[in-house]
Amino acid sequence: MTRQTVLAVLTAVVALSFASPAAAQSADDFPNRPIRIIVPQAAGSGIDLQARTLAQKMGELWGHPGVVENRPGANAIIGTDAVAKAAPDGYTLVYAPVSSVTTNSLIYKKLPYDPVRDFAPITQTVANPLGLIANPNAGITSIKDVVARAKANPGAMNYGSFGIGNLTHLQGVLLSIAADIKMTHVPYRGQTPMITDILSGQIPIGFTTTAGAAELAESGKLKLLATFGAERSALFPNIPTPTEVGYPSAVVVGWAGILAPAGTPKPIVDKLYAGMAKALAMPDVRAAIIRQGSDPVASKSADDFARFIKAEIEKFRPVIKAAGLEGSE
C-alpha cells in the first residue's frame, strides 16, 4: 500500500470518527428551532386544521412551535414538491394528503417528485373514511341495494363525486370492481353541487367525506349507506363498512401524514415519529381531530408508514387504470 493510500484511508477514518458524534449530537439537540410544516392545500381545509392542531401540540412538547405554511395548487403537487427539495434536516415537513404521495404518481406523467424515493415518511396522522350517501326517497337503503340495481341495469345507476380523479371518484370505481358492477360516473366541481343534486333527486347516490355528510345525514335529509374504512367510523359508529356486507376489497380510506425530505437522518426521523405519535395519543388532540371529521391514526413506526405508502400506490394502480386516468396528465 502506498503512502498516499495510507494517508487517504486515515483521513477517511478520522472524518468518520468526527462525523458520527456530530450527527448524534444534532439528533439529541433536535429540535432547537421552529419546525415548518407545509400544507399543500388552502388555509381552512381539513388537513390545514389537522396540521395546526399538531403544530400547536409540538410547541407544547418540544418548546419550539410548528409553523404551518400553506402552499396550495396543482392537486397538492406544489407544496409537496417544495418539501421534496428542502434540506433534509427535519425542520421542513409536509402534511401530505393521500393524493400527493399515491394517486398523483399514477395520474401525472411528469410529477416533479417521486413519492417513494424523495421522502422520509414519519407517520400517518389521520384516516378520513369516505361515505356512500343517497337521497332518502330513492328507495336505496344499503350497498346491497346499490349493487342489485346496478346488476339489474348495467350503467343505469349514476353516482356523483367531487370530480374526475378525486378519491370520491376512485371509490366508485373500486366498489364497481369489488362488486362486479357497472355504474355511470357523474363528476361535480366539489361536494356542495353534488349534494345539491342528490337532495333534489337529479342523481340517486354519491361518494363524499363522512364529515361532509354528517349534518345532513343526522337530520335525515340524506341517507348514509356505508362508510368505507376498515373499521366503523368514530363519527358514525352505527353505519356498516363494505367488509361487513361482503366487499372487503372496496375498503379505501382517505388519509394524511407527515413526511420529511429523503436523506433526513434516521435519529431525527425517529424523534419526529415519537413526538407525533405521542401527540396523536393525547385526548385533546384526538378530540379535536374527531371534531374535524377524521379519525386520529398513528403508524406503528416510520418504517411502517413507508410500507403503507408503497402498498397504497399499488392498491390504486388498477383503480386508476380502470378509471382511464393512468398517465393522463
Task: Map grid coordinates 393525547 to a residue.
Answer: 282
**Which of 140, 292, 293 minimizes the C-alpha distance to 206?**
140
d(CA 135, CA 158): 12
34-81: pLDDT as tens digits = 999 999 887 877 788 899 999 999 889 988 888 999 998 887 889 999
Q: What confidence tier does 142 reach under pLDDT thresholds 50, 70, 90?
A: very high
- Over residues 172-210, the pLDDT tens digits come to 999 999 999 999 999 887 778 899 999 999 999 999 888
Q: Using one digit for the tens of pLDDT, what is the confidence trace for 86-104?
A: 999 999 999 998 888 998 8
Provide the grid cell at 42.
388552502
Which of these, 303, 322, 253, 251, lies nearest to 106 by C-alpha position?
Answer: 322
Q: What is this structure's pTM?
A: 0.75
| Cα–Cα distance for residue pair 195/200, rounded to 1 Å | 9
Domains, the chain, in order of start with CATH, read 33-127+253-322 (3.40.190.150), 129-250 (3.40.190.10)
**How high is the pLDDT of residue 207?**
94
Tell me the average pLDDT of the chain: 87
Residue 9: its pLDDT value, please? 38
Min mean pLDDT across 132-146, 183-197, 266-280 is at 183-197
CA-to-CA distance for 70 and 73, rounded, in angstroms? 10
Q: Quick one: DSSP state of residue 94?
A: E
- In order of 174, 177, 239, 303, the CA distances from 312 in angstroms are 13, 17, 24, 14
- What pLDDT does residue 17 have? 39
Residue 142, class by beta-carbon neighbours within 10 Å (0-12 exposed, 13-18 middle, 19+ buried)?
middle
31-44 burial: b if 16+ Cβ within 10 Å, else e: beeebbbbbbbeee
- Using alpha carbons, list the distances in angstroms from residue 318 to 139, 145, 181: 32, 25, 16
User: How far does CA 318 lie from the centroid of its chain?
Assistant: 18
What pLDDT sits at residue 110? 87
Query: How far apart, in whole angstroms, are the C-alpha atoms of residue 69 and residue 43?
Result: 9
Confidence at 144, pLDDT banded by 50, 70, 90: very high
pLDDT in tens, 77-88: 899 999 999 999
Residue 270, all three cell numbers: 425517529
- Amino acid (one-letter) located at 61: L
pLDDT 10s digits, 224-251: 999 998 888 877 889 999 999 999 989 8
Pair 222, 201: CB distance under 8 Å: no
